[in-house]
Amino acid sequence: MSYPIESIIQCIGARRIGSREAAIDWLLTDSRSLSFPEETLFFALTTKRNTGARYIPELCARGVTNFVLSEDDYKKLKEKNSPELNFLVVRDPLKALQKLAELHREKFRIPVIGITGSNGKTIVKEWLHQLLSPDRFIVRSPRSYNSQVGVPLSVWQLGEEAELGIFEAGISEMGEMSALQRMIKPTIGILTNIGGAHQENFFSLQEKCMEKLSLFKNCDVIIYDGDNELISNCVLKSMLGAREIAWSRTDIERPLYISKVTKAEDHTTVAYRYLDMDNSFQIPFVDDASIENALNCLAACLYLMTPAEQITERMARLEPVAMRLEVKEGKNACVLINDSYNSDLVSLDIALDFLVRRSEKKGLKRTLILSDILETGQSTATLYRRVAQLVQSRGIDKLIGVGAEISSCEARFEGLSERYFFPNTEALLASDLLKRLHSEAILLKGSRVFNFDLLSEALELKVHETILEVNLAR
């Protein structure tokens, strides 16, 4: 969704220096993650250790022409008199970023799920995506983008095709949730649990719980564990006025009553009653945290009127959520980056960013093995035009495309010196191409149905490490 620069100036109350015409599609806070320079607006954020303004000269050289920065940073710039650049001067670039996300969110009259809690936010978000995406186009936070910076970047991903938003909100001190609430504006709230994470900045668990519940101001419904005395008391004290779906294993009068939980060796069966109807489902997990996460997902699905038989079918197929990119030692002096648990344009951008950094550190060529990207709501031509732009902007040396759709768009990737396309994963495995990969950083990025785990097994040695990919979480 594109915004003329004039609309953004009005929204954030900026003083403009420069008159270059521009339409903004992408927001950037990390100069290393640049993909589409001409359509990007860079926010020069200041932290305790660094300031984004120091990267403006580099970004100018790479084609970025639009910047949001503070008055002090603008005065220090050597490039400030360039007629080819737009500088939007504001009092606080972070607050300007958040204000822009608020304006963007206002344009959408769709259900939006806001998830907060001490643990389980990302898993509940990803499981809800697995459970609900067959029926609707969903925009969700990339990985754990749940902080004061991560949330506006997540909300900005909402586009005209969006039918449901799912966003995480993480805080580490009092007063932080207010800004996140204004950006997310959830209609459905899920509080996963309350624990000791970031407790050092709160007087008590109750204070933390009350702060987290403030995300649900103006929600239509709140979902939480009705057996948790702390959460139940805080919900009562908050007087939010929303409908409550408080699930319970002990109180049959609760809206969602969990009548029985039975653990087997490799799965758990849950029986429940909702609106006087009895049903059950299985999940392929036995740990208590997964059961709790599944119950929060169950409540959200029921509220969104997902049929019980579909819930049962999809719960049985829930997959573990990879919280980190796996970086493994590959054969033939390669490094293997496995991010094959999901595939969409936003997560591809993030993973490519990681690939670039890893390859630079090791001095390796960059290889991307990419499957068809499914259920995006975009036309095939539009989607793979964007993919081709991303791939070329990241300096990918070799592309291996897997699937009928990406193969049909081979011409989009003519700018790459090496490109190969296969109709399916089996065809790639049957070729000798994987054996010819040498001294390369290889990113595996595939939709689940393509079974890229088979490629990982073919490429990797058995010793591996796991590396965190992005720290935008709280």
143 versus 254: the higher-pLDDT residue is: 254
Same domain, 308 and 330: no
Average pLDDT over residues 221-229: 97
DSSP letter for each residue of 38-93: GGEEEE--B-SS-BGGGGHHHHHHTT--EEEEEHHHHHH-SGGG-TT-EEEEES-H
- The residues near 206 (Cβ < 8 Å, ≥ 6 apart) are 230, 233, 234
Same domain, 44 and 172: no
Percentage of the chain lying above the pLDDT 90 cut: 75
DSSP H or E segment with residue 8:
helix 5-12
Percentage of the chain lying above the pLDDT 70 cut: 95
Same domain, 237 and 382: no
Does position 347 have pLDDT exceeding 80, yes or no? no
CATH number (domain holding residue 7): 3.40.1390.10
Same domain, 180 and 217: yes
Average pLDDT over residues 213-233: 96
pLDDT value of residue 470:
45
Helices (H) and strands (E) counted in the chain, each on its own, are 16, 23
pLDDT value of residue 97:
98
pLDDT digits (tens, 9 = 90+) for 83-117: 889 999 999 999 999 999 999 999 999 999 999 99
Average pLDDT over residues 121-138: 94
Tell whether 253 is covered by a domain. Answer: yes
Does position 426 have pLDDT exceeding 90, yes or no? yes
Average pLDDT over residues 163-182: 96
289 versus 469: the higher-pLDDT residue is: 289
CATH number (domain holding residue 259): 3.40.1190.10
Tell whether 96 is covered by a domain. Answer: no
Same domain, 165 and 280: yes
Tell whether 463 is covered by a domain. Answer: no
Tell whether 232 is covered by a domain. Answer: yes
Does position 466 have pLDDT exceeding 70, yes or no? no
DSSP letter for each residue of 182-246: HHH--SEEEE----STTGGGSS-HHHHHHHHHGGGTT-SEEEEETT-HHHHHHHHHHT---EEEE
> Predicted confidence band at 465 (pLDDT cuts at 50, 70, 90)?
very low
Same domain, 378 and 359: yes
pLDDT digits (tens, 9 = 90+) for 18-38: 999 999 999 999 998 888 999
pLDDT value of residue 387:
94
Same domain, 249 and 343: no
> Predicted confidence band at 322 (pLDDT cuts at 50, 70, 90)?
low
Q: Which domain holds residue 383?
A: 324-457
Does position 296 have pLDDT exceeding 70, yes or no? yes
Which of 314, 340, 372 is the C-terminal boundary of a domain? 314
pLDDT value of residue 473:
52
Which of 90, 124, 145 is the C-terminal boundary of a domain? 90
Which of 264, 292, 314 is the C-terminal boundary of a domain? 314
pLDDT value of residue 48:
83
Tell whether 474 is covered by a domain. Answer: no
Does position 161 have pLDDT exceeding 70, yes or no? yes
Average pLDDT, whole number, for the chain? Answer: 91
pLDDT value of residue 352:
87
Tell whether 97 is covered by a domain. Answer: no
Same domain, 59 and 142: no
pLDDT value of residue 460:
87
**How many domains are there within the chain?**
3
CATH number (domain holding residue 360): 3.90.190.20
> Predicted confidence band at 453 (pLDDT cuts at 50, 70, 90)?
confident
Contacts by 7-10, CB closer than 8 A, 24 or more apart: 8/41, 8/88, 8/100, 9/88
Same domain, 248 and 145: yes
pLDDT value of residue 468:
41
pLDDT digits (tens, 9 = 90+) for 30-79: 998 888 999 999 999 998 888 999 999 999 999 999 999 999 999 998 87
Tokens of 220: 């239509």
pLDDT value of residue 469:
45
Average pLDDT over residues 447-466: 78
Average pLDDT over residues 354-381: 88
CA atoms within 13 Å, Cβ hemisphere of 307: 5
Same domain, 330 and 194: no
Same domain, 443 and 308: no
Tell whether 473 is covered by a domain. Answer: no
Tell whether 99 is covered by a domain. Answer: no
Q: What are phi and psi of 342, to 5 degrees?
A: -160, 170
Same domain, 257 and 157: yes
pLDDT value of residue 111:
98
